[in-house]
């Protein structure tokens, strides 16, 4: 999980670096003010579109992870239910064995022995 987080951190850092680099290049380039404003506007639109794409990708990935987690939770719940049912069946069987054993012992005690 830490690897995925550092990958996201890298991408975020890369985008911030790209923004700072683009801003510095635009400000230091020998262009007129109107050309610079046009470039800034275009880059802003491009970055906005890229942010939208990244947002959609992140949402899609989050939905996939949510579906996987739900599937694993359902699977675990099924296993727990099976274990509970097996435990109940084993307890019932053991109870019947013990009751049978107690009944046999009581019957043996009640039967008169000849001396």
In a domain, 71, yes or no: yes
Backbone angles phi, psi at 111, to 5 degrees: -75, 125
Residue 8 has pLDDT above 90, yes or no: no
C-alpha to C-alpha distance for 42 and 20, rounded to whole angstroms: 15
In a domain, 30, yes or no: yes
In a domain, 68, yes or no: yes
- The mean pLDDT of 43-60, rounded to a whole number, is 90
C-alpha to C-alpha distance for 94 and 84, rounded to whole angstroms: 15
In a domain, 11, yes or no: no
In a domain, 12, yes or no: no
In a domain, 33, yes or no: yes
Given this model, what pLDDT does residue 114 score? 59
Which pTM value belongs to this model?
0.48
In a domain, 16, yes or no: no
Domain span holding position 76: 23-109
Q: Are 101 and 93 in contact (CB under 8 A)?
A: no
Q: What is the pLDDT of residues 78-110, one digit of tens each?
A: 999 999 999 999 999 999 999 999 999 888 888
Number of structural domains found in the chain? 1
In a domain, 78, yes or no: yes
């Amino acid at each position: 999980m830490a690897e995925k987080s550092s990958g996201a951190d890298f991408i975020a850092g890369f985008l911030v670096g790209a923004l700072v680099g683009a801003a510095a290049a635009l400000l230091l380039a020998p262009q007129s003010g109107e050309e610079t404003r046009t470039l800034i506007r275009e880059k802003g639109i491009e970055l906005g579109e890229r942010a939208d794409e990244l947002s959609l990708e992140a949402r899609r990935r989050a939905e996939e992870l949510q579906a996987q987690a739900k599937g694993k939770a359902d699977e675990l719940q099924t296993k727990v239910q099976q274990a509970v049912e097996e435990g109940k069946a084993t307890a019932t069987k053991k109870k019947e064995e013990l009751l049978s054993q107690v009944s046999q012992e009581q019957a043996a005690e009640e039967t008169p022995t000849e001396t």
